[in-house]
Amino acid sequence: METFIKELKTSVPRVDALDKITGKTKYLNDIDFGNEVLYAKIVHSTKARAKILKINIPELPEGYFTVDYKDVPGKNAATMIISDWKPFAEDTVRYIGETILLIVGPDKNIVYDIAEKVKIEYQDLEPVLNIEDSKKLLGGAIYGDNNIFISFNAGYGDVDEAFKKAKTIIEETYYTPYQEHLYMEVNGAVGVWENGKVSIYSSTQCPYYVQKAASPVLGVEDVRVVAPPIGGGFGGKEHYPDILASVVAVAAHKAKKTVKLILDRQFDMAYSVKRQPAQIKTKIALDENNNITALDVVSDMDAGAYESSSRVIMQRCTYTAANVYHFPNVRVVGTLYATNNVPSCAFRGFGGPQAIFAIERTMDNIAKKINVDPIELKKKYFVKQNDPTITGGIFHDNIILPKMLDLALKESDYERKSKEYKNSMYKGIGISCFLHGCAFTGSGERDIIKAKLKLKKKGNKVTILTSNTEIGQGLHTTFRKIASYNLNIPLEDIDIAEYDTDIVPNTGPTVASRSVMIVGYLIQEASKKLKERWNESDEIEITEDYKHPTHLVDWDTNTLRGDAYPSYGLGINVVEVEIDKYTLEVKIVGVWAVFDCGYPIDEKIVEGQIKGGVAQALGWGALEKIVNKDGKFLQVKMSDYMIPTSLDLPEIKTYIMCEPYQYGPLGAKGIGEITFDGAASAYASAMENALKHHFTSIPILPENIAEVL
């Protein structure tokens, strides 16, 4: 069968679906690496902050050995954005779960047994387990001299002056919690010994990130990295794989054999990266007519023991502080703190959901205090095309929020319900309005990523060479569709090359929802060129380099001012709840999700992203709970960490609107993360409508409701 793509947005069956649902797809742990394979188990720190005094290793049977920092052939530092994260702890440990050494050997059970018997003697140091203690430098600084990894600023106008003149000031602090990614495939890496050197197979969203991190650890130029099919990432496989890959590569280097390190679910949940908890203080100035004259935001995030990508997450959080609103004066300070908690890293939304929760709750709070309709209040301050951004850039796009809002209100019957529920208890409806800056912040695409894509024609077939991975978001289908449509050849004649850094060029990481907008555009442009040259020869190779639209992302890397993003995705979410009077169990009875993601490359895939992202965000707001007790998470099993299933949610009604972006394929802007950004605040807003209480933190669980009542 031949499939010709006449209209891109018309859905086709996902190209990866059949192999995945029939179990044919081989994930990392399914690959046969031969019978010489050794297994590794991590021996980790059980202390949040301590000096290692002595490591007692039991007697090792023949063929079994340990691997620690002394075995690192290069530098014991994985390069992420900075190189602070040591793959192996040396004389001190900074968090519970930190890798101290590996036990390696041919029988997995024996390896696990030995690992259990390793005894480590520590000298305890005073751990820093939250932002407040980090600020106080409890036990002495753990990073630099102030425990601050990085601090960002944004804003314009004269905020102090506005507060001086204010008639009313409204101040509140909002808290958002950890979140576990719970991808279906756990983290893992394999150090493969081949041709007298180490290659790495990694379950990673970003093969070139693993290469960048692990090469200096091995002391080689560019280690070969292969990424097999990936069973979900959600940001959890952005940088954490760098650490696993580094340690297993050192083990393979030492053994001169292939070494496999696949985490079990409990280890993955307990010690792999999470969404960083945030506390965000907002302060609003109102004049005598109750106009908002200033917004002052102080955002603090707990990065945990190492920075990983929390730096750029803090940056996005800072720049998202004013969300879809234009206020006369704005000041934002976002600060990332080091603690002795498990390091946090990327999670769908990348700092956006934290910022949006705070500002959306703030808007609801003001509306309540000055007794106006929250929708009217929000509408009044919606940004418009050519308004300034808080980083000194401008909104270049036509902002279609009012149109989206009208649709959401109408479809959810919002006004009627919200009035009705105001006068009753236990039923509520809430809304959130939000944006998501597309792709990397600032000049990241130009200065750091510099994507380079290749198309190869051989006979009638075309192969796309990219490092952007299929992580469940449908990229293999959308990429093929873009090529097929522009080349006017059947979908079946397009292939995607294996993710092998020896084969594919670096089109950048699969993060920041950038794949379709940035790399899909390169596919579109390369396809057009290839089509023109189609009859030239049987074999043609086209290379397409990223070109920065400087007029849209005019960013000064010294002052960190200008256009932080070339374009913005937009979203409106409505959530309706009913609370059981007796059990206080919350039932989400309606969800309406309107998104502008530019042109949808495949409507079914976009719909799938919306449903998945919204459900994941409702999990964060309404169900999932992680308690961090003295640096250790109490929820480390799927039986005590509840994520929503289809039984917990009603049908999520999705509405796709399209305000195109000039440099996305047919105008696509990306949909991966914005789907997460607003649902938790809409849920909190619905709970406020139901219980007449201003909720300042999530999750909102029956026990929190009991407290309020």
* Footprint of ligand MTE (CB under 6 A): 232-235, 348, 471-473, 475, 510-516, 609, 612, 670, 672-673
275 binds ligand MOS (CB under 6 A): no
- Residue number with CB closer to ligand MTE (571 or 672): 672
Q: In this chain, which stretch among 196-204, 346-354, 427-435, 522-530 interacts with ligand MOS, using CB under 6 A?
A: 346-354
Q: How far is the CB of 53 from ligand MOS (least distance, A)?
A: 38
487 binds ligand MOS (CB under 6 A): no
Q: How far is the CB of 434 from ligand MOS (least distance, A)?
A: 16
Least Cα distance to 218 among 262, 251, 240 occurs for: 251
β-pair type (259-262, 38-44) = parallel
Quickly list DSSP for 668-697: B---TTHHHHSHHHHHHHHHHHHH-----B
Cα angle vertex 23, ends 20, 29, to 5°? 100
**Is cis: bond before 388, omega within 30 of 0?**
no
State the binding partner of 471 from ligand MOS, ligand MTE, none, CB within 5 to 8 A by kind.
Answer: ligand MTE
Least Cα distance to 507 among 540, 546, 470, 479 occurs for: 546
Measured between alpha carbons, how far apart are the two ends of the chain, in Å?
61
Looking from the CA of 568 toward its CB, the CA atoms found within 13 Å total: 29
State the binding partner of 472 from ligand MTE, ligand MOS, none, CB within 5 to 8 A by kind.
Answer: ligand MTE
Restricting to residues 237-256, name those near ligand MOS by CB under 6 A: 238
54: number of Cβ within 10 Å? 8
- Residue number with CB closer to ligand MTE (64 or 347): 347
SS (H, E, C) 139-170: CCCCCCCCCEEEEEEEEECCHHHHHHHCCEEE
Are 29 and 201 in contact by the 8 Å Cβ rule? The answer is no
Least Cα distance to 69 among 55, 81, 80, 59 occurs for: 55
CA 165/CA 288 separation, integer angstroms: 9
Restricting to residues 399-458, name those near ligand MOS by CB under 6 A: none
State the binding partner of 473 from ligand MTE, ligand MOS, none, CB within 5 to 8 A by kind.
Answer: ligand MTE
Q: How far is the CB of 261 from ligand MTE (least distance, A)?
A: 21
State the binding partner of 397 from ligand MOS, ligand MTE, none, CB within 5 to 8 A by kind.
Answer: none
Question: Rounded to whole angstroms, what are the CA distances from 210 to 154, 186, 207, 310, 679?
Answer: 32, 17, 5, 17, 32
Sign of CA dihedral 372, 373, 376, 381: positive
Least Cα distance to 50 among 95, 88, 117, 85 occurs for: 95
3-state secondary structure of 175: strand
Cα angle vertex 349, ends 682, 571, to 5°? 45
348 binds ligand MOS (CB under 6 A): yes
- Residue number with CB closer to ligand MOS (206 or 496): 206
CA 669/CA 598 separation, integer angstroms: 5
Q: How far is the CB of 205 from ligand MOS (least distance, A)?
A: 6
Q: In this chain, which stretch among 62-70, 230-238, 386-394, 567-575 interacts with ligand MOS, using CB under 6 A?
A: 230-238
Q: How far is the CB of 291 from ligand MOS (least distance, A)?
A: 36
Binding residues for ligand MOS, rule CB under 6 A, total 11
- Residue number with CB closer to ligand MTE (81 or 367): 81
Q: How far is the CB of 609 from ligand MOS (least distance, A)?
A: 12
684 binds ligand MOS (CB under 6 A): no
CA 694/CA 364 separation, integer angstroms: 8
3-state secondary structure of 589: strand
Q: How far is the CB of 163 from ligand MOS (least distance, A)?
A: 35
Paired tokens of 124: 């305890």
- Residue number with CB closer to ligand MTE (179 or 362): 179
- Residue number with CB closer to ligand MOS (205 or 320): 205
Q: In this chain, which stretch among 115-123, 343-351, 451-459, 583-591 interacts with ligand MOS, using CB under 6 A?
A: 343-351
State the binding partner of 242 from ligand MOS, ligand MTE, none, CB within 5 to 8 A by kind.
Answer: none
Nearest residue to ligand MOS, scored by beta-carbon proximity: 235
State the binding partner of 612 from ligand MOS, ligand MTE, none, CB within 5 to 8 A by kind.
Answer: ligand MTE
Q: How far is the CB of 512 from ligand MOS (least distance, A)?
A: 5
Helix or strand holding residue 485 (H, E) = helix 475-487
- Residue number with CB closer to ligand MOS (561 or 669): 669
Instruction: Give pairs for 111-117: CB < 8 Å, separation 24+.
Output: 111/39, 111/40, 111/41, 111/64, 112/41, 114/41, 114/58, 114/60, 114/64, 115/41, 115/42, 115/43, 117/58
Q: How far is the CB of 353 from ligand MOS (least distance, A)?
A: 10
- Residue number with CB closer to ligand MOS (238 or 602): 238
State the binding partner of 670 from ligand MOS, ligand MTE, none, CB within 5 to 8 A by kind.
Answer: ligand MTE
Paired tokens of 641: 């960490």
Q: Site for ligand MOS (CB under 6 A): which residue of 347, 381, 434, 568?
A: 347
What does residue 389 show for φ and ψ, rounded to 5 degrees?
-95, 165
Question: Rounded to whole angstroms, what are the CA distances from 540 to 8, 479, 507, 527?
Answer: 25, 19, 19, 11
Helix or strand holding residue 120 (H, E) = strand 119-124
Q: How far is the CB of 369 from ligand MTE (least distance, A)?
A: 35
Q: Site for ligand MOS (CB under 6 A): which residue of 512, 526, 591, 636?
A: 512
Restricting to residues 571-590, name those near ligand MOS by CB under 6 A: none
Q: How far is the CB of 664 from ligand MOS (least distance, A)?
A: 17
Restricting to residues 617-676, name those near ligand MOS by CB under 6 A: 673
Q: Site for ligand MOS (CB under 6 A): which residue of 247, 292, 511, 530?
A: 511
- Residue number with CB closer to ligand MOS (576 or 677): 677
Contact mark string toward ligand MOS, 192..211, x via CB under 6 A: -------------x------
Q: How far is the CB of 348 from ligand MOS (least distance, A)?
A: 5
Q: In this chain, which stretch among 151-159, 332-340, 347-355, 525-533 interacts with ligand MOS, using CB under 6 A?
A: 347-355
Least Cα distance to 241 among 270, 266, 216, 212 occurs for: 212
Beta bridge partners of 561: 556
Which single residue is written with the structure tokens 């509306």?
367
CA 680/CA 677 separation, integer angstroms: 8
Are 636 and 263 in contact by the 8 Å Cβ rule? The answer is no
- Residue number with CB closer to ligand MTE (251 or 511): 511
Q: Site for ligand MOS (CB under 6 A): which residue of 346, 405, 656, 705?
A: 346
350 binds ligand MOS (CB under 6 A): yes
Contact residues for ligand MOS (CB under 6 A)? 205, 233, 235, 238, 346-348, 350, 511-512, 673
